[in-house]
Amino acid sequence: MYDSHFPILVVVIPMLVSFVVPLVGMWNKKLPFYMATTAMIASLATSIGILVQVLQHGPISYRLAGWAPPWGIEYYIDHLNAFMTVLVCFISVLITIYSQKSITQERPDKEVHFYCILLLLFTGLLGMLVTGDMFNIYVFLEISSLSAYALIAIGDEKAHFATYKYIIIGTIGACFYLLGVGYLYIATGSLNIHDLSTLLPPLYGSKVIVVSSIFFILGLGIKMGLFPLHTWLPGAYTHAPSAVSAYIAPLMSKVAAYVFIRVLFTVFDIRFSFETLPIMEILGWVAAVAIIFGSIVAISQSDIKMMLAYSSISQIGYIVLGLTMGNREGFIGSVLHILNHAFMKACLFAIVGAIIYRHGTRTIERFGNLHRTMPWTSAAFAVAALSMIGLPPTAGFFSKWYLVLGAISAGKWAFVVIIMISSLLNAVYFFRVIEHVFWKPRSGGIDLPIERNEAPKSMLIPILVLAIGILALGFASHWIIEMVIGQTTPAGIL
């Protein structure tokens, strides 16, 4: 009976719960965790319901308060955002279960507010995914960014300065996005994505449209952490509490990447993005530089969170690179990489959080003998690292495979070489960690008795689910592409 209201329920449930959490938290400090988990599981169930509906009956259009589309706000869900919604909900549930022990140890006084703001962040991300209205995306973008600022600020002693940097740069990004919306509104008088996509094509010659597209790319590039605009990202990911890193790193930049795809392929169609302006040509090279830059800087880091943050910058490069190929393989590679990278980064940051929880260190040199003290965590790390490098049968191999196929059929051999080189660089920095985890003795603590000191179950189970997920996604990738991702390719891409 309620299934026609799923698109709004998926956003409203976590939002309402987040308002109740601080009230309940005043008399019981334990309850907010259970409330947050329940709300996220409810959203996950709803989002799966949406995905099933979309797979069976095609895209869903939901009118808020019954107002017809160009005037009212429309929630429009097709294969791409239905799939992204399930991904965000799934990772959120796992990381929330994971966060309980971690946040209690790192910030014991902030639990209640942590879950309140985490739910708001979750609301913002889901809202950006389900909505079909350009201004609505801005509002949800700011809800998610403001919550992210607050969550990062409760991190370690350098977190405040990193947060301040993120606030300044993030606000510029959001304002550029808003300017882009404004210019589109001047030219067309509409804010609805699908209305815009029919109104815009006759206007492609106009300078207003060109300026707005550039504002969109700059604004969303900042929010994604695309290479020259990435400066906020390493500090924010590194100094946030470990549960927050494990939540923000896989999800926030991916959702911004989704909006990027929406703007470049649905609002502006493929003709504009590839022919009117050389946007894709330039973005392709920017992404290529991002891939190499991120990998090289990651090699020189001794702090594992910093290393993973720079590796994120290079992975965002992969996602953008696939979009610029202009063919079906490249696009599928990008969307598949959004999925795989969300799993890999969630798994890796969660593992780092577990290591910090037990050993209190994130310096790679001090990871010696970790496979003896934390065997399951180390095994999960090996799986995620191999997937980041791109070895079959892990998930990371398949998205890189599609990216390479896309580059070959686009005739861009330079990009094939760049993907290969960066895989080698990935191997360099992940094998360095694997070497310390599995083969090196622990430096400093001489002859400490090596006792098995595995992470608590509530942290270990999400990590193992994510690691198994990486393998499962690898085996199921053909099926996922056929059922879901294959349907997401925009019109005009062959």
By the criterion CB under 8 A, which residues form the site for another protein? 135, 138-139, 142, 146, 149-150, 153, 157-158, 160-161, 163-164, 167-168, 171-172, 174-175, 178-179, 182, 185-186
Q: How is 327-371 classified by DSSP, letter by letter?
A: SHHHHHHHHHHHHHHHHHHHHHHHHHHHHHHHH---BGGG-TTHH
Cβ-contact 8, 64 below 8 angstroms: yes
Residue 356 has a CB neighbour count (10 Å cut-off) of 20
Helix, coil or strand: residue 27: coil
Query: CB-based contacts of 57: which residues, under 8 Å, 6+ apart?
Result: none
In the complex, the smallest distance separating the C-beta of residue 168 from another protein, rounded to whole angstroms, is: 6
In the complex, the smallest distance separating the C-beta of residue 206 from another protein, rounded to whole angstroms, is: 16
Distance CA 414, CA 292 (A): 13
Name the DSSP class of 104. Answer: H
Amino acid code (one letter) for 178: L
In the complex, the smallest distance separating the C-beta of residue 134 from another protein, rounded to whole angstroms, is: 10
If the CB atoms of residues 220 and 484 are measured against another protein, the closer one turns out to be 220
> 62 pairs with which residues across the strands?
75
In the complex, the smallest distance separating the C-beta of residue 167 from another protein, rounded to whole angstroms, is: 5
Cβ-contact 119, 17 below 8 angstroms: yes
If the CB atoms of residues 186 and 414 are measured against another protein, the closer one turns out to be 186
* Type and span of the H or E element at 62: strand 60-63
In the complex, the smallest distance separating the C-beta of residue 193 from another protein, rounded to whole angstroms, is: 16
Six-digit token pair at 401?
Answer: 């495979």
Helix, coil or strand: residue 170: helix
If the CB atoms of residues 98 and 166 are measured against another protein, the closer one turns out to be 166
If the CB atoms of residues 159 and 473 are measured against another protein, the closer one turns out to be 159
In degrees rounded to 5, what are phi and psi of residue 87?
-60, -50
In the complex, the smallest distance separating the C-beta of residue 157 from another protein, rounded to whole angstroms, is: 7
In the complex, the smallest distance separating the C-beta of residue 216 from another protein, rounded to whole angstroms, is: 15
In the complex, the smallest distance separating the C-beta of residue 142 from another protein, rounded to whole angstroms, is: 5
If the CB atoms of residues 17 and 153 are measured against another protein, the closer one turns out to be 153
If the CB atoms of residues 141 and 226 are measured against another protein, the closer one turns out to be 141
Give the chain's end-to-end CA distance (angstroms, integer): 39
In the complex, the smallest distance separating the C-beta of residue 403 from another protein, rounded to whole angstroms, is: 35
Q: Which of 351, 283, 344, 349 is nearest to 319 (CA)?
A: 283
Six-digit token pair at 271?
Answer: 């003709």
If the CB atoms of residues 169 and 385 are measured against another protein, the closer one turns out to be 169
Six-digit token pair at 369?
Answer: 């003998």
Distance CA 333, CA 376 (A): 30
Cβ-contact 373, 452 below 8 angstroms: yes
In the complex, the smallest distance separating the C-beta of residue 148 from another protein, rounded to whole angstroms, is: 10
Give burial (CB, 10 Å; 0-12/13-18/19+) of 56: exposed
Locus of tokens 């290479």: 227
Distances (CA, A) of 27 to 20, 24, 112, 120: 12, 6, 11, 21
In the complex, the smallest distance separating the C-beta of residue 325 from another protein, rounded to whole angstroms, is: 34
If the CB atoms of residues 167 and 374 are measured against another protein, the closer one turns out to be 167
CA angle 448, 453, 457 (to 5 degrees): 170
If the CB atoms of residues 164 and 438 are measured against another protein, the closer one turns out to be 164
* Type and span of the H or E element at 152: helix 134-153
If the CB atoms of residues 63 and 160 are measured against another protein, the closer one turns out to be 160
If the CB atoms of residues 75 and 429 are measured against another protein, the closer one turns out to be 75
Distance CA 366, CA 149 (A): 30
